[in-house]
Structure 1
């Protein structure tokens, strides 16, 4: 059954996956003209909104592994968009800062991205957006809880 009334779990997953892919592709297209990949954009964006951060703090915030975050920061540093400075209290830690150029690039990129995302979901009224956010959070927490139980040796069912 392929009607809107089909609410079985596999159909929900398929609709969610297709929507995610479409939004993800549009989001990437909105930053492509800046020669920024998704991970680079996320690193710059978190630094713009959170300020300078230790390398190991950035990874979880942007969902990158320790190896991937190091490569992303190296790439951004090579482009002159970020710098790494030693932490004053712990020499093992390096703090990543936006450079002036990096701040300029991400401010423009984020403003453009924000406009594009707003246009992308303009068909959803505010109330529907709020409902969608609430439902996605509820789903995410529920699935995460089940996965945590599974990791502790319990089954998903």
Structure 2
């Protein structure tokens, strides 16, 4: 970091945040996401925050095509994590919902991820954990605001 470390600029913080995200991926890689892939996990995170969206909106949020997104949802429906229901205004339009089993899966996954983080956090002094918590709360609020302004949810805000 440069001499402005008392008030670091976003371009000074971004590389450290990116490195932290990469380390989280390594730690969380130890906690299997089976039976879902990373792409399918993103679908679950999006549906958790935008229940009842249609396939096109989900495809846009993923930066994918409706046929590819439909196949992702087919697999998630086959394992019981996603439900498709007819829309209220048009029976041709299907709405996507996270099933109870999908919610349970995400809860279990988050618990495993949190346990993986606890061992790292235990190694930090309490004052640094406090600072980290304050910074992460502010980061999550800013990220959630930006995501909602953009109109898409990627799953990063609560993942």
When the two structures are superposed, what TM-score results if normalisation uses the length of structure 1?
0.57
Query: Could you say if the C-alpha distance between residues 108 and 136 of structure 1 is closer, same or farther in structure 2, counting changes exceeding 3 Å?
Result: closer
In the alignment, which residue of structure 2 is the partner of 1:97? 97
- TM-score normalised per structure 2: 0.57
- Any unmatched runs of 5+ in structure 2? 147-159
The 4+ residue runs of structure 1 with deviation greater than 6 A are 7-11, 136-142
Structure 2 CA distance for partners of 1:93 and 1:10, relative to 1, 3 Å = same
* CA distance in structure 2 between the partners assigned to 1:115 and 1:23 by the alignment: 12
Provide the alpha-carbon RMSD of the alignment: 4.1
Structure possessing the higher relative contact order (Cα contacts under 8 Å, 6 or more residues apart): 2
- Where 1:31 maps in the other structure, the secondary structure is coil
**CA separation of 1:36/1:91 partners in 2, compared to 1, >3 Å: closer, same or farther?**
same
Q: Tell me how far apart the structure 2 counterparts of residues 119 and 50 of structure 1 sit (CA, whole Å).
A: 32
Larger Rg: 1
Q: 2:11, 2:120 → 1: CA distance?
A: 25
